[in-house]
Amino acid sequence: MVENVRELLKAHEGMEREVYLDTENSSMVPQEIVEAMLPYYNQRAYGNPTLTHKPGWEAFEVIMESAQKIASFLGCKMPEEINFTPGETEANNLALMGTAFATKNKGKRIIISEIEPINVLHVTDMLQKFGFTTKKIPVNTEGFVNLEKLKEAIDKDTIIVSISAVNNELGTVEPIKEALEIVKDKNPETIFHTDASDAYGKIPLNVQDLKVDLATVSGYKILGPRGIGALYVKEGVNVEKILEGQIGTQKLWPGVENTPYIVGFTKASELAFQNFETNVNHMQKLRDKLMNGILETITEVKLNGPKGDMRAPDNVNISFLRCEGEALTIELSLKGVYVSSGSACTRRLLQPSHVLSAIGRKFSEAHGSILMKVTRYHIEEDITYVLEVIPDAVKRIRGIVGSTGVD
Amino acid sequence: MSRVPLPYNPKVLDLFRNPKNLGKMEDATVVAVAGNPACGDMITFYLKINEQDMIEKASFESYGCAANIATSSIVTEMIKGISLKDAWTKITWKRVTEEVGGLPSIKFHCGILAVGALKRAIRKYYQNKGVSLDWLEKDLTFEERQALEEEELAKLLAKRMKLQEEQK
């Protein structure tokens, strides 16, 4: 198997330009962030932050400083509200399971939107085994959560509501503040969680303004390292830990703190927020160039998600009709453009992205979808190159499809 | 999003980049389809069959992933110049998978779908002629059944989705 992959990689040799647009699934970590992390492996703070020696105290100091910085970027009341976890998946598991177990005597109902990420969907599926039930709130054709349906769904039995601040596939900026008011109006006891991984560093976000109880953020989604994230837990909100082990500085996550990753996550946050508006404007400009460039030059395409200010500044998601997505990702990879697809091609069960299905895309439209995320490190020439490559790639794949892929 | 690693081998990649016998055939004797766009997998075979029931030429169109394209392409090469009987009895999805140098197990169904489409074409050809032959099984072959199952499943899921849409 590895031999095959080596051959695949050889087929990529001699590329004139490479443009990585798959920050949805993993990120390139910029050198300046890697360099910020390096001293924490073997020069300082490599000790366990709970222990009584210098490298331990150094670790304690930098972890506390990091929590302070991230707390200020998120608009928290205090740094103790930041709980580092090994990533978005773990933070979402902690939010949902931890709340379910902490409040199980109050109710059994969990409410999420239809377009929550897999790491929310699967946790709620799992919680059904423990007697919890899940209600999924529909979204409209642009991915906005139906607030009327949300209102109807909240009852005394509802322990937690989880709605992403920005949908990871569509870039839809959800009306979290309104949603929260609706929820708390009907049941003040209900905990409100938002996965803010795609909002943090991309749109203005302040947990105290929003009044959310729990919020997830992720390292790699802002170009930090993989394997680090955090769950904001508002002061006084009760979440139970979901893993057992040695508890250290992180009350909700056992095990030895990963200091270099925490430092990398913090550095990535600083870089994202240092010139927040400039960064956002830059991403928005590239996003629009990429999005409009495709929509204007290629026929039979559909934009997934909204246009304008209610779309995250980094997200482009387009369905290419009569074009299967996995084939297109390989074709583009061979030209140095790295993207992902909502196609179901890797699954025997044949179901494409649940998010695209939820906004009413037909299966054939979802199979031909491509998701791209721009970053502040991309330059205009990158997008120009992508816009040169995509039309030919789509044309070639459609040439193989011929008359066969028409509904 | 695609998550399962797919280490395609060089032969599959080559067939994906340079598919053989690609495109619609205007003078085809028989045309058969397997899969549908809802599955994300669909193959059309065009066969030109001569009076001796030999496959003179074959071509394909494919809506699908790299494995789908590669297996369809290789089938058109494997059946060129052989009799329909040989194509029916000797071309199995396992042989097709071997010919492309192996596939990740999650992609076996691509080879199955390709052979399903081929067998449908052969069956259709003899049905059109009104001929029944002892080697041509009356019951659907494994590959034809699988293709049908995949199509039915996609229809079912699409129906379920529509129903959910209406309930909203």
pLDDT for res B2:
44
Q: Touching check for A30 and chain B: CB below 8 Å?
A: no
Tens-place pLDDT, residues A162-187 = 999 999 999 999 999 999 999 999 99
pLDDT for res A406:
66
Q: How many A×B Cβ pairs under 8 Å? A: 129
Contact map slice: A 66-95 vs B, CB within 8 A = none
Residue predicted with more confidence, A109 or A104: A109
pLDDT over threshold 60, residue A347: no
Tens-place pLDDT, residues A131-160 = 999 999 999 999 999 999 999 999 999 999
Q: Touching check for B109 and chain A: CB below 8 Å?
A: yes
Q: Touching check for B138 and chain A: CB below 8 Å?
A: no
Domain boundaries, chain B: 10-163
Question: What SS3 string covers A361-404?
Answer: CCHHHHHCEEEEECCCCCCHHHHHHHHHHHHHHHHHHHHHHCCC
| Architecture field, domain A32-273 | 3-Layer(aba) Sandwich (3.40)
pLDDT for res B36:
85
CA-based nearest residue to A152, from A137, A162, A139: A137
Residue range A2-21+276-401 in CATH 3.90.1150.10: yes
- Enter the ipTM: 0.92
A347/B6 touch (CB, cutoff 8 Å), yes or no: no
Overall average pLDDT of the B21-40 stretch: 93
Q: Touching check for B24 and chain A: CB below 8 Å?
A: yes
Report the 10 Å Cβ neighbour count for A304. 27
Tens-place pLDDT, residues A42-90 = 999 999 999 999 999 999 999 999 999 999 999 999 999 999 999 999 9
Radius of gyration of chain A (CA): 22
Tokens representing B20 are 């053989």
Domain boundaries, chain A: 2-21+276-401, 32-273
Could you tell me the end-to-end alpha-carbon distance of chain A, in angstroms, rounded to an integer? 35
Mention every residue, 6+ apart, whose C-beta is less than 8 A from residue A343: A324, A325, A326, A352, A366, A367, A368, A369, B2, B40, B65
A407/B38 touch (CB, cutoff 8 Å), yes or no: yes
The three-class DSSP label of residue A317 is: strand
Q: In Å, what is the CA distance from A385 to each residue of A105, A113, A328, A370, A382? A: 57, 36, 16, 17, 5
Contact B54, B86 (CB under 8 A): no
Q: Is-above-0.80 flag for pTM?
A: yes
CA distance B58 to B60: 7
The three-class DSSP label of residue A9 is: helix
pLDDT over threshold 70, residue A366: yes
What residues pair up with A369 in beta bridges, in sequence order? Answer: A319
pLDDT for res A253:
97
In this complex, which of B24, B68, B154 lies closest to A363 when CB atoms are compared? B154
pLDDT over threshold 60, residue A346: no
The three-class DSSP label of residue B33 is: strand
Tens-place pLDDT, residues A313-336 = 999 999 999 999 999 999 999 999
pLDDT for res A405:
67
Contact A294, A282 (CB under 8 A): no
Overall average pLDDT of the A246-262 stretch: 96
Same fold: A2-21+276-401 with A32-273: no
pLDDT for res B98:
97
pLDDT for res B6:
85
Indicate the average pLDDT of chain A. Answer: 95
pLDDT over threshold 90, residue A364: no
Overall average pLDDT of the A262-276 stretch: 97
Query: Phi-psi bin for A212: left (phi > 0), alpha (psi -120 to 50), beta?
Result: beta
CA-based nearest residue to A122, from A148, A144, A145, A92: A92
Closest chain B residue to the Cα of A117, Cα to Cα? B1
Contact B56, B50 (CB under 8 A): yes
Going by their DSSP bridges, the two strands A82-85 and A109-113 should be labelled as unpaired
Q: In Å, what is the CA distance from A226 to each residue of A48, A196, A273, A384, B36? A: 21, 16, 19, 29, 38
| Architecture field, domain B10-163 | Alpha-Beta Complex (3.90)
Tens-place pLDDT, residues A386-404 = 999 999 999 999 999 998 8
pLDDT for res A351:
75
CA-based nearest residue to A319, from A343, A303, A298: A303
| The residue type at B131 | V
Q: What does chain B come to in residues?
A: 168
CA distance A326 to A310: 28
